[in-house]
Structure 1
Amino acid sequence: MTENSSKSGRILIVDDNEDLLKAAKIFLKRHFAIVDLEKNPEAIPTLIQNDDYDVILLDMNFTKDVSSGKEGYYWLEKILDTDPSAVVVLITAYGDVQMAVKAIKAGATDFVLKPWENEKLLATLFSAMRLRETKLEVEDLRSKQKQINLQINDRYDNIIGQSPAIRKMFETIDRVAATDANVLILGENGTGKEMVARAIHNNSSRRDQVFINVDLGSVSETLFESELFGHKKGAFTDAKEDRAGRFEIANGGTLFLDEIGNLSMPLQAKLLTILQNRRVSRVGSNKEIEIDIRLLCATNMPLYDMVKENKFRQDLLYRINTIEIELPPLRDRFEDVPLLANHFLHFYNKKYNKQVSKISEAALTRMQKHNWPGNIRELQHSLERAIIMSNSQVLQPEDFNFNSSQSQTPMDAENVMLDQFKLEEVEKILIRKVLKKYNGNITQAASELGLTRSSLYRRLEKYGL
């Protein structure tokens, strides 16, 4: 082992043998920036609170207890209580395999015997330093992830709405989040499926762990296993280094598989095997890695119809939808349009340094009549464009590119306030007629009516059909 040209690393050595301490410092100070010595273990708490050590070399036996190692275990526990990411290497003249195993199980990183060989000691310390760096990186990532989660979604701050459909969804999230149940989130494009997934994660017991999002629609067949399960260096042409897959990265946290309906049947089979066994093997390796994840999936595709058409595995569907949440399209929650519109108004005013004060009543009325086939995403883009292009402080209907074919039939204010009973009677007759046309097929009837299956079911229950 050659001496580092640029020394780094802080080492603390705790041992009651003065000669050992002096010899260790003489040797190690050539390789590390700081080497601190301490005879009295009682000073350990103060030392590690005042300084950030990369590695702590800790004697297992002090004068009170010659050979059992009990003092070493005691101070190891104290160190890890103070700094859970501390890296401790235990040293003793009376070591054996059982003591080494017990020390590792207690949280030690490694175990060395004295008198030690300098080169072996140095290799052990450098290895321990790398572990310390990794631990700190993981802690930093977790801390950043926690802050990102708080910023992205402080409970439900990013889900805007007060409509009955949204309030019902919040109730479902509250019930589901506290469990580890797999959740399938259904909804059209732009309805906010990822936001709901994040809300579930951020209200769960895994909220301080990672949330990993995988867009399966963008993962090719050839890279599927590498992306999700990882690979070993040399496993295939472009595998230039070992790489952890998304399952492994999400271990302890939440894995969100978006667009799961896009998976081919062979890939569905591979995914099902992993979910059943709760283990993954990197491509090019036979070693199995246990995984502990909360699984959330989402799609805008009709999975139940796909099962009937043999395009989606029924056993996989059962596996991923312990709980099912269906997001309502924006046309089914028109009451939320003004809230969403004003939210985006404030957001893009700030982003583009604009001074648009409000959206006119006429524009809001027109927005509530629009079908929004792109849902919230379309509404967001419409507001962004209108704010960028407008020279006025108040947005008017003409500031939006409403496609007349996608809007409802224009009505004057009096017609909008038509008797609700009459409207419900018309809707009831229409639903009955369409159901008869398709011999009671809910999927086909909902499609013709422009409703989701859950929306149609709600209306059937409401009208007693």
Structure 2
Amino acid sequence: MKTGSILVVDDNKNVLSALRILLENYFQQVTLISSPNQLPSKLRELTPDVVLLDMNFSAGINSGNEGLFWLSEIKKVDGELPVVLFTAYADIDLAVKALKEGASDFVVKPWDNAKLIATLQAAYALRQSQREVKRLREKQGVLSRELNLGETICWGHSAVMHELRRLVEKVAKTDANILVTGENGTGKELIAREIHRLSSRKNEVLVTVDMGAVSETLFESELFGHVKGAFTDARTDRAGKFEAADGGTLFLDEIGNLSYPLQAKLLTAIQSRQIVRVGDNKAIPVNIRLICATNRNLDQSVQNGEFREDLLYRVNTIHVEAPPLRERKADIPQLADFFLQKYASKYGKKYLTFDKQTIIKLEDHAWPGNVRELQHAIEKAVILCDSNELLPSDFYMKEQNASTSKIENMSLEDAERLLIGNSIKKNGGNLSAVATELGITRPTLYSKIKKYVL
């Protein structure tokens, strides 16, 4: 089947005639010119897939320098266009020089038809491969941008959020490892996504891993990948999260939940910036930007012997703290309106507004679940409301009990222990319900129950 286009440049008309007869059986379009001076205009006019270029055009000159000159001119127009050089004077040094300067191959006259066709078809296949790689890269760029869109941050106007935004914008431009801390629901993942969006890696993918949901037995396979036959279910080679994030950003959420033995394996990968797949012994370099997040006090975890100090130093080059909503209540009206617009549009209720007393009620609530709790409360109210105005009665928030009211004066870990214990009692030991209520995964909940001996 004839396919592709070829441009032939040779000053010998007999050669051109012979090549036309031969090449028209293999290429869909064959263009022949006798003067290389026509090359620039023909390249722009025809955009050929392959060029077959003679190396000598002036009588009595067989140095091949003319061919090398026009090769460089072709590369100026299209640096990836395959060029096969054609000469009656075989010279190994000349051939090597031509290949170094970008020629894809070298054919000597008189030629063997089968070998010439094979050489030109290989050059055409190279052109197709280059185009496919370019198309896939462009597609990957589009997909990466789409995948990385995610939710946007509503920063608010409070001083604490102004400082946080300033810090995020400053550190995003670097490749420094970043640790994002804060209570559940404060938007740690959104901060990580914003850092990635503002970084030089924004057109690459951001890969998220919930460390609390990765079992110890699958940890290495999930993060570092495996080769076929590495274990019972390893039926094919599989890249891990580190490889998937190569060139982009790796976000390790809930890193404080990682067991002590696995922390050493993670530290090795972070330090060396290379991984070894399970069942293999070949080191694979990875180029990642690392962002970690946790709701734990890792300094306290280090003192308790639960978290490696050397790993903390590695992940904590820059520390970003996400403030709880109770410390930025001035932002509640703006946040509430942000979520109202989002869910009113999603559920086809575009003319919804807040009653003034509703905003007062929202500002007065403690929001132990932080921004996530506010977001869910507004989504629920939008779904259930019957009018164009959200009233205080559309929001049902449980009043804080005596024990919960003490949380503001507790350490993060003591508050977490109390909240989990209260939730277990309230849900009658139903851990699925507890995990849902607290907005965490079941493995994360199990880890916390084990930690606090609940």
For Structure 1 versus Structure 2, the TM-score category normalised by the shorter chain is: 0.7 to 0.9
1:141 is displaced (CA, Å) by 1.5
Q: Partner amino acid for 2:57?
A: T
Whether the 8 Å CA contact 2:147–2:205 is kept in 1: the answer is no
Q: Tell me, which stretches of 5 or more residues in structure 2 are unaligned? A: 420-454
Residue 357 (structure 1) aligned to one of 352, 355, 365? 352
Q: Secondary structure at the match of 1:405?
A: coil
Q: CA separation in 2, counterparts of 1:234 and 1:59?
A: 50
Q: Partner amino acid for 2:354?
A: I
Q: CA separation in 1, counterparts of 2:36 and 2:92?
A: 22
CA RMSD of aligned residues (A): 4.0
Q: Tell whether 2:316 aligns with 1:321.
A: yes
Q: CA separation in 2, counterparts of 1:98 and 1:314?
A: 60
Describe the shift of the 1:241–1:392 C-alpha distance in structure 2 as closer, same or farther (beyond 3 A).
Answer: same
Q: Which residue of 2 aligns with 1:28?
A: 26
1:314 is displaced (CA, Å) by 1.4
Q: Partner amino acid for 2:132?
A: E
Describe the shift of the 1:11–1:404 C-alpha distance in structure 2 as closer, same or farther (beyond 3 A).
Answer: farther
Residue 220 (structure 1) aligned to one of 215, 222, 226? 215
Please give the residue correspondences for 1:143-154 in structure 2 after superposition, counting only pairs within 5 Å. 143-146=142-145, 149=148, 152=150
Q: Secondary structure at the match of 1:404?
A: coil
Q: Secondary structure at the match of 1:325?
A: strand
- 55-64 or 276-285: bigger deviation: 55-64
Q: Which residue of 2 aligns with 1:368?
A: 363
Describe the shift of the 1:400–1:76 C-alpha distance in structure 2 as closer, same or farther (beyond 3 A).
Answer: same
Using the size of structure 1 for normalisation, the TM-score is 0.72
Question: Which of structures 1 and 2 has the larger relative contact order (alpha carbons within 8 angstroms, sep 6+)?
Answer: 2
Q: CA separation in 2, counterparts of 1:242 and 1:120?
A: 34
Whether the 8 Å CA contact 1:257–1:297 is kept in 2: the answer is yes
- 267-276 or 18-27: bigger deviation: 18-27
Q: Secondary structure at the match of 2:128?
A: helix
Q: Which residue of 2 aligns with 1:76?
A: 75
Q: Tell whether 2:124 aligns with 1:129.
A: no
Q: Partner amino acid for 1:225?
A: E
Q: CA separation in 1, counterparts of 2:41 and 2:213?
A: 52
Q: Which residue of 2 aligns with 1:83?
A: none
Q: Which residue of 2 aligns with 1:344?
A: 339
Whether the 8 Å CA contact 1:253–1:294 is kept in 2: the answer is yes
- 248-257 or 11-20: bigger deviation: 11-20
Q: Partner amino acid for 1:262?
A: N
Q: Tell whether 2:61 aligns with 1:67.
A: no
Q: CA separation in 1, counterparts of 2:280 and 2:98?
A: 30
1:383 is displaced (CA, Å) by 0.8
1:341 is displaced (CA, Å) by 0.8
Whether the 8 Å CA contact 1:227–1:245 is kept in 2: the answer is yes
Alpha-carbon displacement from aligned partner over 1:72-110 (angstroms, at most 9, x marks no partner): 244224313xxxxx4636545558599669857x777x5
Residue 202 (structure 2) aligned to one of 201, 207, 213? 207
Q: CA separation in 2, counterparts of 1:409 and 1:380?
A: 21
Q: CA separation in 1, counterparts of 2:250 and 2:259?
A: 20
1:42 is displaced (CA, Å) by 6.2
Q: Partner amino acid for 2:338?
A: H
Q: Secondary structure at the match of 2:78?
A: helix
Q: Partner amino acid for 1:22?
A: R
Whether the 8 Å CA contact 1:370–1:406 is kept in 2: the answer is no
Whether the 8 Å CA contact 2:105–2:119 is kept in 1: the answer is no
Q: Which residue of 1 aligns with 2:442?
A: none
Residue 298 (structure 2) aligned to one of 288, 294, 303? 303
Describe the shift of the 1:392–1:236 C-alpha distance in structure 2 as closer, same or farther (beyond 3 A).
Answer: same
Q: Tell me, which stretches of 5 or more residues in structure 1 are unaligned? A: 81-85, 411-426, 436-441, 451-465
Q: Tell whether 2:255 aligns with 1:255.
A: no
Q: CA separation in 1, counterparts of 2:373 and 2:348?
A: 22
Identical columns (%):
39
Alpha-carbon displacement from aligned partner over 1:234-260 (angstroms, at most 9, x marks no partner): 544544544443333333332222222
Q: Tell whether 2:74 aligns with 1:88.
A: no
Describe the shift of the 1:305–1:137 C-alpha distance in structure 2 as closer, same or farther (beyond 3 A).
Answer: same
Q: CA separation in 2, counterparts of 1:389 and 1:126?
A: 60
Q: CA separation in 1, counterparts of 2:32 and 2:277?
A: 44
Q: Partner amino acid for 1:334?
A: K
Whether the 8 Å CA contact 1:229–1:280 is kept in 2: the answer is yes
Describe the shift of the 1:123–1:397 C-alpha distance in structure 2 as closer, same or farther (beyond 3 A).
Answer: same
- 237-246 or 95-104: bigger deviation: 95-104
Q: Tell whether 2:162 aligns with 1:162.
A: no
Q: Partner amino acid for 1:76?
A: K
Describe the shift of the 1:185–1:392 C-alpha distance in structure 2 as closer, same or farther (beyond 3 A).
Answer: same
Q: Which residue of 1 aligns with 2:264?
A: 269
Alpha-carbon displacement from aligned partner over 1:223-279 (angstroms, at most 9, x marks no partner): 433433344445445445444433333333322222222323333222222222222
Q: Which residue of 2 aligns with 1:174?
A: 169
Describe the shift of the 1:447–1:219 C-alpha distance in structure 2 as closer, same or farther (beyond 3 A).
Answer: closer
- 401-410 or 70-79: bigger deviation: 401-410
Whether the 8 Å CA contact 1:60–1:71 is kept in 2: the answer is no
1:391 is displaced (CA, Å) by 0.2
Alpha-carbon displacement from aligned partner over 1:149-187 (angstroms, at most 9, x marks no partner): 5x557xxx5333111111010111122122221111112
Whether the 8 Å CA contact 2:145–2:204 is kept in 1: the answer is yes
Q: Which residue of 2 aligns with 1:335?
A: 330
Whether the 8 Å CA contact 2:325–2:367 is kept in 1: the answer is yes
Q: CA separation in 1, counterparts of 2:353 and 2:375?
A: 15
Q: Secondary structure at the match of 1:209?
A: coil
Q: CA separation in 2, counterparts of 1:189 and 1:284?
A: 37
Whether the 8 Å CA contact 1:193–1:298 is kept in 2: the answer is yes
Describe the shift of the 1:171–1:136 C-alpha distance in structure 2 as closer, same or farther (beyond 3 A).
Answer: same
Describe the shift of the 1:230–1:359 C-alpha distance in structure 2 as closer, same or farther (beyond 3 A).
Answer: same
* Larger of the two Rg values belongs to structure: 2
Q: CA separation in 2, counterparts of 1:167 and 1:259?
A: 25
Q: CA separation in 2, counterparts of 1:324 and 1:261?
A: 14
Q: Tell whether 2:391 aligns with 1:391.
A: no
1:12 is displaced (CA, Å) by 4.2
Q: CA separation in 1, counterparts of 2:213 and 2:270?
A: 21
Q: CA separation in 1, counterparts of 2:53 and 2:221?
A: 44
Q: Partner amino acid for 1:88?
A: P
Using the size of structure 2 for normalisation, the TM-score is 0.74
- 257-266 or 16-25: bigger deviation: 16-25
Whether the 8 Å CA contact 1:357–1:394 is kept in 2: the answer is yes
Q: Secondary structure at the match of 1:71?
A: helix
1:319 is displaced (CA, Å) by 1.0
1:326 is displaced (CA, Å) by 0.6
Whether the 8 Å CA contact 1:159–1:195 is kept in 2: the answer is no
Q: Which residue of 2 aligns with 1:462?
A: none
